[in-house]
Structure 1
């Protein structure tokens, strides 16, 4: 082995020297708080290790983004409203409505709550952005820093608008945009086989399902036109020559670092400046802390089940938690459950409650048999990476759609919150534990995901540095966005060709008519 390493060393050195590089650049980062920051921070750590200087714009009441950090230089914006409190109320109402059961009234109530929250969040950020722009000393400081690009999560629009105002190249760390899923604003998206987020549909739809898909797309259009667009109209009309809208600015982005891939996503049209980095945060498992490893090993041949609901939800409603704990208590496996609420009254001796767990390391542990999760993007991608089947309890946002993609591929099972009880949890766990097809399917997905010429994180860093080296990537953007809708679908061409065809037919008929009339007159004259 040592001799082989010595022989490969010169080749490795040559490959490193031949690899294109980018001197340390200045990157202005405008992230979205909450779980989105978890994704952004992972990318920032890698960029920092590559020698880049990072400046992060954060709010004074940020949930997760600290003001003091060795990773970046902060720019703190003063914000009075606390979106965390508002979001917490929304989550409680959302879960309560789901427990009431599936009905049109429940759907309308949840949609109303969601649109109200989204509208309030965008208006708050739009007002903050205007205050930022009007702070002349701050803006002069940003200009003097001579940033190479803006890196932003476009789930909220201020980073996109700031890049336009500063005239800087734009790189998006993206899956979601203000009006829904990112593909719908940048790539052809036929609704006949591309499901709209929230519709609960796959890429194989019946006629009725296609009707449903179009109706859900109407909700996205409404959200964009009446909830998102008006929030930023003041900024666009005052600070951007000729005005602007969020969608057109998104279409001007140089690179889309898209947090998904086609092992997970349904096949669909895409664009050359979309780079798929799904699973970029995934890494091989590290050893567990000694006490946790001891608990895991005590499970013996039965293995362990882990459960977490992500960073936004600390606990389920009490009655739901009791039902889940009761089901766990009857399982032969050991359970590790991230739970911050009241201790469930039905908790068994086999269940360990923790306030935090090393999720990646547990998913990569050979003793882990099933992952009980809410279906957040990070958790689903980590489950794919480590090959662990998922019992999903979707709560809100994209979680049902994420879990649906696993279920459609036979790698997971969805259990709606309304159906969660001790019996359904136990039956779901037994199905995933004892039917080998689930583990085989998720292992196959893991193998496909890992079989790439370049790791997703390396792709992400390469394209960020690519934009720096070339001061943008306009050659990867299509001109299709500048076409009016009738030109995009060639309706003007169709109308022209139909007009020409009709004129030709009319001319032919007129000539034929004249010829017939002349022939009749000739015959009549001869008869006379």
Structure 2
């Protein structure tokens, strides 16, 4: 009898769980995601898992040559677009080799110019590939009909490329960004007022405190970004819009017209600046408490004793540095009392010390949260910087390209990091001295732990905030009440140039009228005087 009762009880609980899960699935939304590859996909995947756990159905658009986005996972389904060319290792590796060669040369105007030209070429080709992918989608009537039939609630995309932006317009769906970068540069620059007197441009190497010379330099970088967007990037997307939507649809308007901007920074990391009501800050949303390390890794970490452990990773794009540089780095590590865990896939350095462990992959977040970790040597990617802040681990930065120097600069300005360049890392024991400087000066750890406390001291976790606002857009079919209308204004209206011209014209007219009256009075008076004489 007791056994029968338990069986009935278990059956009832199973039925209840099934009903609950079915209810969640039926009441969940349908979300179409157009992500970017590499490290951008790593943090988008975290958001997808969170959305799936809330009962939402997620479809992910990828190419048939996808680098990171794989099929067969339970938390999303893939929609594959066939392309002839894609953003992957074959595309990235030649660019990296050129950057290494340029940046390790003598620092000069020509080095800077060469690097900028290389970046221009890389950005042009990235967006060319993206536009080709978008055209493949729009030309595939069967694919577009299937997407429309799915009746999605919104499109979530990374606007560092524009395929998702145009797809949302084609499907007439609300648009949400998982954003730090857009096609034309840093996200804030497109949506919020951005005075160049205290908001540094990406690549300028400046903080929010600038001298006259630095403000002039910042203005030059602004023009460089504008030229890149105006001549190399925006015309490619506009050509797609012209072909499929008509010339009256401007890509810039589509880009700026998103309902919600989920910004992957916060103001613990970012310099204070103007913002907008539809910008939601979720910096560090991918960070979480550390889990226990694998047994072999934990044993290696514990063997470090009182000296602790240094970890080094150059991110998803870079598998290995030039051989002579890796040997110099290995030599420096070998001279330290700390143990070192180094993510490195290339040839084993000849000077590798017994204290250094090379790994193909490391549980970065879990290592950073381990109490024995003393220092993080990194390239300056947004994900790694946010994890270092979350866990309060000081940084030695070795930036390579794009936003990495600017990310590290924000830590340096707050006294939590030192930065090396590729040109100096293997000269005069610079790498070793820099690491020792951060390890031996307690202020670096204290400052980073202060940033960690500030970052964690929030009423709601960043990921929970992001989920709420995504669901908010789904519930209300958009967030038009939060969007500014400024992006619809021509530049002369946005800056009130037409008003100033009108006022100047009115003042000039009044001044001319007064002068003419004075002249008439003077002439009349002169004539009257001559008659009296």
Of residues 440, 448, 473, the one that matches 1:442 is: 448
Give me the CA root mean square deviation: 1.6
Aligned to 2:30: 26
Q: Bigger shift: 218-227 or 499-508?
A: 499-508
Residues 68-107 of structure 1: pairs in structure 2 closer than 5 A: 68-84=72-88, 85-107=90-112
Residues in 2 aligned to 1:102 and 1:215: alpha-carbon distance in whole angstroms: 19
| TM-score relative to the length of structure 2 | 0.92
Output one character per residue of 1:165-216: Cα deviation in whole Å (capped at 9) or x when no partner. Answer: 1110000111111111111111111112111111111111222222221221
Q: Bigger shift: 352-361 or 491-500?
A: 491-500
Counterpart contact for 2:37–2:67, Cα < 8 Å: yes
1:270 and 2:284 correspond: no
Residues in 2 aligned to 1:189 and 1:284: alpha-carbon distance in whole angstroms: 35
Of residues 11, 36, 42, the one that matches 2:40 is: 36
Residues in 1 aligned to 2:508 and 2:234: alpha-carbon distance in whole angstroms: 42
Counterpart contact for 1:229–1:245, Cα < 8 Å: no
Counterpart contact for 1:22–1:465, Cα < 8 Å: no
Counterpart contact for 1:372–1:393, Cα < 8 Å: yes
Residues 94-493 of structure 1: pairs in structure 2 closer than 5 A: 94-421=99-426, 423-493=429-499
Residues in 2 aligned to 1:523 and 1:123: alpha-carbon distance in whole angstroms: 80
Counterpart contact for 2:63–2:86, Cα < 8 Å: no
Give, in angstroms, the shift of residue 523 of structure 1: 4.3
Q: Where do 5+ consecutive residues of structure 2 fail to align?
A: 1-24
Aligned to 1:17: none
Give, in angstroms, the shift of residue 158 of structure 1: 0.5
1:516 and 2:522 correspond: yes
Give, in angstroms, the shift of residue 503 of structure 1: 2.3
Residues in 1 aligned to 2:339 and 2:309: alpha-carbon distance in whole angstroms: 5
Residues in 2 aligned to 1:176 and 1:168: alpha-carbon distance in whole angstroms: 21
Give, in angstroms, the shift of residue 512 of structure 1: 2.9
What SS does structure 1 have at the residue aligned with 2:423? Answer: helix
Counterpart contact for 1:22–1:469, Cα < 8 Å: no
Q: Bigger shift: 174-183 or 463-472?
A: 174-183
Aligned residues: 507
Residues in 1 aligned to 2:529 and 2:111: alpha-carbon distance in whole angstroms: 80
Give, in angstroms, the shift of residue 77 of structure 1: 0.8
Output one character per residue of 1:218-265: Cα deviation in whole Å (capped at 9) or x when no partner. Answer: 221122122212322332112214433332111110000110111111
Counterpart contact for 1:98–1:418, Cα < 8 Å: yes
Output one character per residue of 1:86-127: Cα deviation in whole Å (capped at 9) or x when no partner. Answer: 211101111121111322222222222222222222222212
Residues in 1 aligned to 2:71 and 2:227: alpha-carbon distance in whole angstroms: 36
Residues in 2 aligned to 1:337 and 1:24: alpha-carbon distance in whole angstroms: 42
